Amino acid sequence: MARVGYALGYGKFTEVREMANVMQQAEERGFEMAFFSGTIERMRDDDAALAGRPIEEFLAEAAARATAQTGVRIPATDAESFLRGSADAGLLKIVG
């Protein structure tokens, strides 16, 4: 069975116990969990041209490429907005 990334965000409406419960259930079901920022770091480090560069630089470059590819403007302001914009453009899927 393929492992699926499970992106977690930050929200003032989620209590710590509730989030811990969601994470435990996801792990029990075989999901691989990552925070938005950690996901971006892995994406950056997988790109040989941008590995190790500042996150802001990676987001700007990747957003420009994705926008050119899809015609949909991808935000580069922060990790969560970038990933959600990429999902809206059909480049990836956020599950959970």
Residues 80/86/4/52 CA torsion (nearest 10 deg): -70
**pLDDT for the residue 1:** 44
Identify the pLDDT of residue 80. Answer: 84
Structure confidence at residue 13 (pLDDT): 64
Other beta carbons within 10 angstroms of residue 1's beta carbon come to 4
pLDDT reported for residue 7: 55
64-81 confidence digits (pLDDT tens): 999 999 999 999 998 888
- pLDDT per position as a tens digit, 1-59: 455 555 555 556 667 787 778 778 877 887 766 667 777 888 888 888 888 888 889 89
